[in-house]
Structure 1
């Protein structure tokens, strides 16, 4: 977000945010539809359930949602299940802010590791995660998707 948009705030999503969150995910993942073999899994997630469980966080300013993140606690790590940025705000640091938020949330919850996965054909995502300190642990097909699994020790 630019200074004209106001400071970026990340907060737990409300019920009222769910339709906008789903629409944002559809816009964010549309760019991958011609690259991957089948529609990315986040397009089919239940964002109302994520919101109700306290997993969904939105980022924005001035009432506009620029991005979101889905965080799920596991016994020994925090799963960064999804990070999505509205294409209209990409390149403004929203994704990096959401990942930094995930890392801070992991620390606050007592985790020493953040894990994520992405489709192996999403090379730009993999490169970004590597630049942010994530390392690849393995590749596998999960739920019919060829995925790259990554982790970052905190």
Structure 2
């Protein structure tokens, strides 16, 4: 990862960049899932206003990726992480997840929970590699979801 990468809270002017990043990251799954994945249709305005979104930016303040997470009970829910295709392979996704984990520790959370779609097969191997354990599979909101948790 480029050491000039900075992670900061998203602000209103980031909404369009975050939306474009999400659409680019998830459009490849529309056919496999049969509809737009939930992250493509998220209400980013509301998520940013609630301070649940952080963006990874380069020195020019260009959004290269983003992460959505927030505390729930004793846990943090990592709802979404995406990186622009032009910035993939640079460790940005891992940096965003590490930022989420560090934030969760500061909040005193016991663990981080997340889910992904079973059709997003690369995620099914990435998350265990980062220390997340599969905790279940369910059909929810019309999606086949795979749940993971990492105790921190």
How much has 1:112 moved relative to structure 2? 1.7
Q: Which of 3, 7, 10 lines up with 1:10 in the alignment?
A: 7
Q: Within 5 Å, which residues of 2 pair with 1:79-94?
A: 79-94=77-92
Q: Which residue in the other structure is 1:41 paired with?
A: 38
Partner of 1:63: 61
Instruction: Name structure 2 gaps, 5 residues minimum.
Output: none
> Which residue of the partner structure matches residue 23 of structure 2?
26
Q: Which residue number in structure 1 is paired with residue 73 of structure 2? A: 75
**Distance in 2, Cα, partners of 1:117 & 1:124:** 13
**Range with bigger deviation, 104-113 or 6-15:** 6-15
State the Cα distance separating 1:85 from its structure 2 match.
Answer: 0.6
Aligned to 1:104: 102
Report how many aligned residue pairs link the two structures: 151
3-state SS in 1 of match to 2:74: coil
- SS of equivalent residue, structure 1 residue 67: strand
Q: SS of the residue aligned with 2:8?
A: strand
Deviation at 1:81, TM superposition (A): 0.4
Tell me, what secondary structure is at the counterpart of 1:111?
coil
For structure 1, the 5+ residue unaligned runs are none
Matched, 1:145 2:143: yes
> C-alpha separation between the residues in 1 aligned to 2:92 and 2:27?
18
| Residues 132-141 or 34-43, more deviating | 34-43
Could you list the per-position Cα deviations for residues 28-49 of structure 1 after superposition, in whole angstroms to 9, with x for gaps in the alignment?
Answer: 1112223323210011110010
Counterpart of 1:33 in 2: which secondary structure? Answer: helix
TM-score (norm 2): 0.95
